[in-house]
Amino acid sequence: MPSPAQAAIARLPQADLKSIFTADPDRLSRFVLTQGPIRFDWSKTHLTDDLMDAFLTLAQERDFTGWREALFAGKPVNNSEGRAAEHPAERGQGNADSVARARMFHARMRALIDAIEAEALGPIRHILHIGIGGSALGPDLIVDALGGDGLRYDVAIVSNVDGTALERAISSFDPHTTLIAIASKTFTTTETMLNAASAINWMVEAGVDDPYGRVVALTASPDKAIEWGVDETRILPFSESVGGRYSLWSSIGFPAALALGWDAFESLLEGAAAMDRHFRLSAPHENAPLIAAFADQYYTRVMGCQTRALFAYDERLRLLPSYLQQLEMESNGKSVTREGDPVDGPTAPITWGGVGTDAQHAVFQLLHQGTILTPVEFVASIEPGHALDPAHHRALLVNCFAQGAALMRGRDNPDDPARAYPGNRPSTTILMEDVTPEALGALIAFYEHRTFANAVLMGINPFDQFGVELGKEIAKSIEADGPKGFDPSTMALIGIALGGG
Ligand code: F6P
């Protein structure tokens, strides 16, 4: 049974985007919001005042403000695992004890970084960061977005268990001047532990004196890191209540803090903290993550859109789509509510995307003329990330804005339907002043809170991820006991490729 607000949302007629603008020329005043260095523009979505009212009622029905307070108070919002979700504490926001603990861990990280810079571990030129999922995607995004050619060390972030990834990464590294950072919340993840062991072997084979002395562990399981052979003085812990895909602010961000410098890392945290304050203190009707979640809910649950696409019109943000895939799909790709009941509609759409303008020449055909409606998000920066002719950045931004206009406007062609564009296709534009540490911190925190807001509106827990376990367990059982009792297809594949069938 839909709730009264859900019924109201479903009943509201959908107007064409162009007519929405004609009927409401002042739309920008209500559907554009600037928060610090970022301008969010939802005016080219189907959100109207009536829809906003209905969604605000839905937020009340779902006790959005109560859940938001519980998040910041360090209450166990991750109910299935009986844990808080304290990534905001890493930015100085939330429960006082958790904030103090995060500060202590940051101080420890900073001290180790100072020691590394002072060559206490010998000369270091390269950082080999080994981790996967949340222990890789966040640091990779930050280092890639903010590093440019100003990185203090060469950084390689290796995640895949495919040895080609590690081999390629170390091919240009000198083992005698490399620092290995093993990033794993649990310190049990198969891929990470295998890559870490191979990295140590690489050092041993090259005759490095004390390879374990060149290892730093970034983890919420310090005991496991000690067992593995990392000296306690080089373990940078973080709290168990910081989820893997929300952990770049903790010691998992170590390669970024080391390679970009501590000031940049602190600015990243401060940018995120500003977004935390906005999310926590702003009224629902002017709350950027919540409004974004309203649009998400509308397209997924009312319009039945199964995907959402994000295009970074800035090469510095090229890793943003893959970062968001984990954040959004691992958080909200669920089928049951917090109480374990079946959900009352679709949950997270598939997040996909790429960079502009490349994507225009590859996938935009479907966005403009395909039969599957896809809400599009553009992310761009007013300032360029390079010193070349300003014509580059101008062309980039002109293209970005042209695509949003074209999706909305469309074009009739009564003589040739193949050349007609239906239009009425929604897009959101997120315009940053520049890709600075502050702005990037705020942008990522915006996405985190938007993911949480979506979960609250759907009544699900965004902080667990049991769906990833079954495949891991089966792989482990094949390694431990050999292939037994599988279907004929799986048995044959194993037999042919691994010789164990
Ligand atoms: O398998 C999924 C997952 O548990 C993610 O949630 C996590 O970010 C990733 O694996 C890596 O886990 P860990 O940091 O414990 O190695």
Residue 81 burial by Cβ neighbours in a 10 Å radius (0-12, 13-18, 19+): middle
Closest ligand 1 atom, residue 245 Cα: 8
Report the pLDDT value the prediction gives residue 167, as an integer from 0 to 100. Answer: 98
Q: Rounded to two decimals, what is the model's pTM? A: 0.97
3-state class (DSSP) for residue 100: helix
Residue to mutate (ligand 1; options 81, 83, 132, 466; most atoms within 8 A of CB):
132
What digits encode the pLDDT tens for the residues 478-496? 999 888 899 999 999 999 9
Minimum mean pLDDT range among 130-134, 354-358, 473-477: 473-477
Lowest-pLDDT choice from 23-27, 52-56, 206-210, 257-261: 23-27
Which residues, other chains included, contact 367 with Cβ-Cβ below 8 Å and sequence gap of 6+?
309, 374, 376, 407, 425
Cβ neighbours of residue 384 closer than 8 Å, sequence gap 6 or more:
390, 392, 393, 396
Contact 244, 411 (CB under 8 A): no
Atom of ligand 1 nearest to the CA of 330: 6
Extract the tokens encoding 2. Answer: 């839909």
pLDDT at residue 499 above 90? no
CATH architecture of 32-82+268-462: 3-Layer(aba) Sandwich (3.40)
Q: Which residues of 249-268 are buried (b: 16+ CB within 10 A; e: fewer)?
A: bbbbbbbbbbbbbeebbbbb
pLDDT of residue 2: 87
Residue nearest to atom 1 of ligand 1 (CA): 468
Asked if the model's pLDDT at residue 30 lies above 50, the reply is: yes
> pLDDT > 70: what percent of the chain?
100
Contacts of 271 (CB under 8 A, 6+ apart): 36, 37, 436, 437, 438, 439, 440, 441, 442, 443, 445
Of all residues in the chain, the percent with pLDDT exceeding 90 is 96
- pLDDT for residue 237 is more than 70: yes
- CA 433 – ligand 1 centroid, Å: 33
List pocket residues of ligand 1, CB cut-off 6 Å: 132-135, 184-186, 189, 192, 244-245, 330, 465, 468
Q: Where are the domains of the chain?
A: 32-82+268-462, 95-260, 469-498
**Arithmetic mean of pLDDT over the chain:** 97
How high is the pLDDT of residue 218?
98
- Note whether 32-82+268-462 and 95-260 share their fold: yes
Query: Counting atoms of ligand 1 from 1, which one is nearest the CA of 472?
Result: 1
pLDDT score at 150 = 85
Q: Provide the pLDDT for residue 359.
A: 98
Q: Does domain 95-260 have CATH number 3.40.50.10490?
A: yes
pLDDT of residue 501: 44
Q: Which of 6-10, 39-43, 148-152, 223-227 has the lowest mean pLDDT?
A: 148-152
The tokens describing 287, both together, are 């709350």
Q: Whose CA is nearest to atom 5 of ligand 1?
A: 133
Q: What integer pLDDT is reported at residue 107 of this predicted model?
A: 98
Q: How far is the CA of 159 from the centre of ligand 1 (A)?
A: 11
Written as six digits, the tokens of 208 are 């490095």
Which has the minimum average pLDDT: 156-165, 319-328, 476-485?
Answer: 476-485
**Given ligand 1 and candidates 186, 187, 325, which is best to mutate, with the most ligand atoms within 8 Å of its CB?**
186
CA 126 / ligand 1 centre spacing (Å): 24
108 CA distance to ligand 1 middle (Å) = 23
Pocket test for ligand 1, best of 158, 185, 252, 326 (most atoms within 8 A of CB): 185
Ligand 1 center from residue 291 Cα (angstroms): 29
The interaxial angle of helices 49-61 and 437-458, nearest 10 deg, is 70
| Atom of ligand 1 minimally distant from the CA of 219 | 14
| Confidence at 500, pLDDT banded by 50, 70, 90 | low
Answer yes or no: are the C-beta atoms of 234 and 217 closer than 8 Å: yes
Q: Which residues are designated catalytic?
A: 330, 361, 472
For residue range 387-435, list pLDDT tens digits in order: 999 999 999 999 999 999 999 999 999 999 999 999 999 999 999 999 9
Distance of CA 472 from the midpoint of ligand 1 (Å): 11
From the alpha carbon of 244, which atom of ligand 1 is closest? 8
